[in-house]
Amino acid sequence: MTQATFTDAVRSHIAADRSMLNVSIPAVITSYDPITQKCSCQPLIDSLLRDERLVRMPILEDIPVMFPSTQLSALTFPVNVTDTVLLVFSQRSLDNWLATRDTNPVNPEDFRKHDLSDAIAIPGLFSFPRAINDPSKHTLLHDTDDLVISHNLGSPNENEIRLESNGTIKISAGEGTKITLNLDGTMTIDAPTTLAVTSPTTTWVGDINVTGTVTATTDVVGGGKSLATHVHSGVTTGGSNTGVPV
């Protein structure tokens, strides 16, 4: 019978200690408060014990959700139940830090490390079959080479801002309404029903070509002449032409 050495005992102790260390794990949102950015999560990988028993991890409560943001700028989006996230576990207790309004260091007041109660949720982690960059998951035409901000993915209300790899920028609300900016200096606006511009004064520099009818509810002025109130010179009775507007 081989006698365990001191080295074996140390290794066994380290292995046992590491088995209790929480670093990161995928989880699913079970509840979420968008005002406080606080959620509850169910870790999605069970613990496998030495005797091959599986142990379901508990639902973790009061987890802060991280958004890409600073004090003055933020990218926010809805977080929904059944969304998957990556949980990372803080090296020290988060309790006092989560309750403070300033940026001064705080006393953790206990010695726990990488504890299940000190998780932080980072949205955006998906299993391979659920990857959202799959074009089939989008209602609008999707190219994986583009930089895209999308909302309502896969629904009739899908909308997006798309920076295409060829330099074109598109803003789309559904499949029909969009603004396209091209690198060649051209720009198109597609509005299937109406286009409304509300401004006290609108200035256009350059020619305007219209296919269709131009309707003005008050007046049209061209070359200083009012379409509604101008008069003509050289007016005579009969079929002759008048002079130019005065």
Q: pLDDT digit of tens for each residue in the chain (246 aa)?
A: 556 676 655 665 555 555 568 999 999 999 999 999 999 999 999 998 888 899 999 999 999 999 999 999 999 999 999 999 999 999 999 999 999 999 999 999 999 999 999 999 999 999 999 999 999 999 999 999 999 999 999 999 999 999 999 999 999 999 899 999 999 999 999 999 999 999 999 999 999 999 999 998 899 988 888 888 888 777 777 676 776 666
In tens, the pLDDT along 152-201 reads 999 999 999 999 999 999 999 998 999 999 999 999 999 999 999 999 99
pLDDT of residue 144: 97
Instruction: Dump the DSSP string for 177-221.
Output: EEEEE-TTS-EEEE-SS------S-----S----SS----SS--E
pLDDT of residue 50: 83
pLDDT of residue 233: 77
pLDDT of residue 237: 72
pLDDT of residue 187: 96
pTM of the model: 0.82
* Torsion sign, CA atoms 109, 112, 117, 118: positive
Instruction: Dump the DSSP string for 116-174.
Output: GGGEEEEE----GGG-TT-GGG-SS---TTSEEEEESTTSTT-EEEEE-TTS-EEEEET
* Torsion sign, CA atoms 8, 10, 11, 16: positive
pLDDT of residue 28: 98
Phi then psi for residue 176, to 5 deg, are: -105, -30
Q: Taking Cα atoms as reference points, which of 138, 123, 24 lies closest to residue 82? A: 123
Our CA angle for 126, 130, 136, nearest 5°, is 135
Cα–Cα distance, 91 to 115 (Å, whole number)? 8
In sequence order, what are the residues at sequence separation of 6 or more whose Cβ sits closer than 8 angstroms to the Cβ of residue 123? 65, 66, 67, 77, 79, 83, 85
Q: Give the distance from CA 159 to its chain's centroid.
A: 11
The answer to whether the CB of 58 falls within 8 A of the CB of 68 is no
Cα–Cα distance, 18 to 246 (Å, whole number)? 94
